[in-house]
Structure 1
Amino acid sequence: MAGKPILGHLLDQLLDTTIDEAVIVVGSQKGSQIVEYATEAYGTRLDLSFPEQTVPRGLGHGVYQARDAVGDEPMLVVLGDMLFVEGYDPFITAHRSAGADVTIGVHEVDDPTRYGVVELGDGWAISHLVEKPADPPSNYAISGLYGIEDSPALFAALESLITDDDRGTGGEFQLTDAFQRLVADGRDVRAHPVSDWYDCGRAEPLLEVNRVLLDRRSVDDSQGDDGTLVIPPVDIGRDVVIESSIVGPYASVDHGTTIINSIVRDSIVGRNVDLDGVNIERSLLGDDATISDDPATLNVGSNGSLEL
């Protein structure tokens, strides 16, 4: 997306703050890839550690794996599929100014049943939290950004959830439920509205934030002798072959991809993808996908192959 993985954009934004340490909780499936990428690209600029969540048992369980690396330091918790285009500094400033034990970023949404949801008391004080409720108490969805002043208190709440086997939505240990325990204990837990939030776990927001990031670039049109036309804004990786094709606007194409006799616009194309004779728009194509003939809108995972 706009030249790098979502993790790269998140770590770039950390570099724009005073934070100098990142604890990245990884799973067993793609953990080695994440460690390799982050270490190579950011290891000289951030103090990195990679605790592993060997079994996926929920977001709360995942955050709990960071307890030894974090210790008793305050922390900023950022979910790996949530992107805040304007960065973290405004939120960090608001958290410190409020003087709260916990500050949770929230955003009004039309369908809060897909998210953790907060109920507000006086001002922005949170009186109740619930994960993916069938009957939401408000439209304020938790946006995946948390400022924690007393990290040991949160880890203790998470440990009590796990020890009590108190599983929430989906049979998992939910971070939202740990914050609810802090509220019940009388902790000062507050909400802060965020407006530049993109849930990159879904296709349309991922494409939207790709457009936003590419719009910040300034590149002229270019045209090849074979009629190839590149229309900015675009991001094109190394060793990409484009023949008799139109690429852009709003196309991100990763390294090693081949595009022949095709039109690619408003799409994110992974690494080492082969496209031949296709016209795609508003699509996501994973690494090593092969597509030929004329699909319209696609979401193809890594190593996928389509011929229409």
Structure 2
Amino acid sequence: MPERTDLPLAVSAMLLAQLSINGGAALGKSLFPLVGPEGVAALRTGIAGLILLGLARPWRAWPSVGQMRWLVPYGLALGGMNLLIYWAFARIPIGIAVAIEITGPLSVVLAMSRNGRDLLWFALAATGVALLVPWPGRSSALDPLGVAFALGAAACWACYILFGKRAAQVPSLTAVSVGMMFGCLLTVPLGVAEEGARLLDPDILMLGLTVALLSSALPYALEMRALAGLDSRLFGTISSAAPATAVLAGWVFLGEALRPVSILGIGCVIAACAGASLTSGAPLARPRENLAS
């Protein structure tokens, strides 16, 4: 068990990590008028990929053919998740997109559970998503395609976890650097095709670097600090607050105010994720391009 004196610092680090992730998401969305969601996805993954390759230098011990069988789809899932979530951000509020996206890892945890009471969390999450979906005839400003992109990001997140488990025999930094390389094969060509040389503008590159640091490096360092003072259940429970911090970031930085029914739906998803984390002990942390692991 963690020391009680470490607990406030660990919780604070986790909350700061969540604010950093979603602040990075808000900054990324604010760049859409300049380089579009494809450009932001290309910048984030491309810059993170270069940093990872420099740190890991995977060519010194390149994975075997058998390991690559899982690393390639692992990387494509990571690239697809980045691209789809930015497409979702372009059409629906960040808080709603993140709430839908987090159902991906939640589905993996619940599918692997042997505990019948976890059906309650599944039902609660399904209720939350149902409240967020713009059903025909319902008065809602949500874009159906944006919801579909968020669901696609959730599916990619689930695949990321499943393929990542298969590739677990590869050192984690090597695995994520090689995986990111294949993810960039999906995101960077699309970004270049849509935005071209604008991605090389120094100001745009600096903003892209900031997005990558806020969404990846800084929260990872904070979560490593938090893990020293939190057990996995509490870590997962706090991680489940990601949609709430996304709502806060969207409101503060982008002026995205949500309807009461959307807030209720997000609350159901948060409760389902927290409940699943408490009963299973499996954290639902957002995957990112870990810069040291």
Bigger share in strand: 1
Larger relative contact order (CA 8 Å, sep ≥ 6): 2
Fold conserved between structures, TM > 0.5: no
- What TM-score, normalized to structure 1? 0.23
User: Quick check: which has more Rg, 1 or 2?
Assistant: 1
Bigger share in helix: 2
- What TM-score, normalized to structure 2? 0.24
